[in-house]
Structures are given as structure tokens and as C-alpha cells.
Chain A
Amino acid sequence: DAGVIQSPRHEVTEMGQEVTLRCKPISGHNSLFWYRQTMMRGLELLIYFNNNVPIDDSGMPEDRFSAKMPNASFSTLKIQPSEPRDSAVYFCASSLSGINEQFFGPGTRLTVL
């Protein structure tokens, strides 16, 4: 199995631009999680989906952030407009519902100038 796949691995953009991060979960997993990791705040859960439905988005910082899961094998996290304080590593993870173990992707390192 290829594991959780994230793209791009690195993204550098300018303030105000739209950024889209992508995630492909492990085949057969029906829960998907988006996290953000920074030095200041550590690892934060932004949103998670169960069977493609958003269950808890209380961690999404503000309206500039949105996430979708149009099907079981793909999810996006969009930031529009991006700001320098959004610079972080964004991780996607997936799991089987009812099984607590989550499998993490390699992350996307986002830099907003």
C-alpha cells in the first residue's frame, strides 16, 4: 500500500493567493483528518471527515480555510486568501472508523511570503 499521499510536498506562495492542498487516504479507510503543525502551537486538528462527511470543523481557524471530500479517495484543504501566519506543515491522516490508529501522510510544507 502506498500509504497516505499528499501533494504538493512543498508550496511557496505570496500573501493573498489561493492555496489548495491535496490528500489521498489509504484505500478502504473511511475517516480522514487534516492537521496543522507549527513550532508555536504544535499539532492541531483542523477538521475530520467520516464517510466523506465533515464531522468536526471546530479546529478550522477562520473562514479563509475550507475543506472538502468529494469522494472516499480524495480530499482538499483550501486557504483563500492565504496569509503569512498560515505558514506551517499540513498533515493529512486516515483511519478505519472505529479503529483509533491514524496513518499520517508526509505533510505539505506551506510558506506564505
Chain B
Amino acid sequence: AQSVTQLDSHVSVSEGTPVLLRCNYSSSYSPSLFWYVQHPNKGLQLLLKYTSAATLVKGINGFEAEFKKSETSFHLTKPSAHMSDAAEYFCVVSGATGGGNKLTFGTGTQLKVEL
């Protein structure tokens, strides 16, 4: 079985300050991990993915995430928040389940960026 836990349902930051969105995972397999972003009334867009290569993964729009096996974590960070980053962010785990590449989504973290 696999699961992800997003530790914060809401995060609020000021524009120009760092962003940290936390995610812990559980997986019986070597997991693939993703962060997706969903802007209001839009579909989900892939930010970045980890697939057992480099543990520090760089994504779009200045986001990055670090895979830490010892901590079973895959936190998402960005050095400086922009107003356009306000959205909902989903941490996602995928693993071989004998039936294809099913994704398991976290409950989401709503990021608010204030002036």
C-alpha cells in the first residue's frame, strides 16, 4: 500500500519570502513522487517528479523538492514566493501495484501569497 500525508492544509506566506510545503510518504515499493499544482478552476499541472535519480529535483517556476528516504519526506520549496504561486498543491506517490501506474494523491495544501 502507498499513501502520502500533506502536513499542512493551508500555508500563508508573504511575497518574496520562502515557501515550504511538507509531504511525507509511505510506500512498499521504491516510490515515484510528484508535486502537482492546481490553480483555481483549472486542471492539475505537473510541477516536478522524483523517479530514483537525483534526490534534489528541480521543477518549473523555481520550485524544487528533496527526496529524503530516511525521513520518508518529499517537501516542496521555493526561495521566493510570487503572487502567481497562489494555488493548491498536491503531493502524489506512484508505485507498481500490479495494475499500472496508479497515483495516490495527498489531500492538498492551499498556498496563499500576500503582499
Contacts and interface: CB of A to CB of B under 8 A. Distances in A.
Contact of B102 (A43, A56, A105): A56
Contacts of B43: 4, 91, 104-107
B101 A42 contact: no
Contact of A42 (B32, B45, B49, B107): B107
Interface stretch (A64-72, A79-87, A95-103): A95-103
Interface in B88-109: 90, 94, 99-103, 105, 107-108
Contacts of B46: 101-103
Q: Is the interface of B mostly helix, strand, loop or mixed?
A: strand
* Most chain A beta-carbon neighbours within 10 Å: one of B46, B102, B107: B102
Contacts of A93: 44
B101 A31 contact: yes
B90 A98 contact: no
A6 B68 CA distance: 37
Contacts of A50: 99-100
Contacts of B90: 43
A48 interface: yes
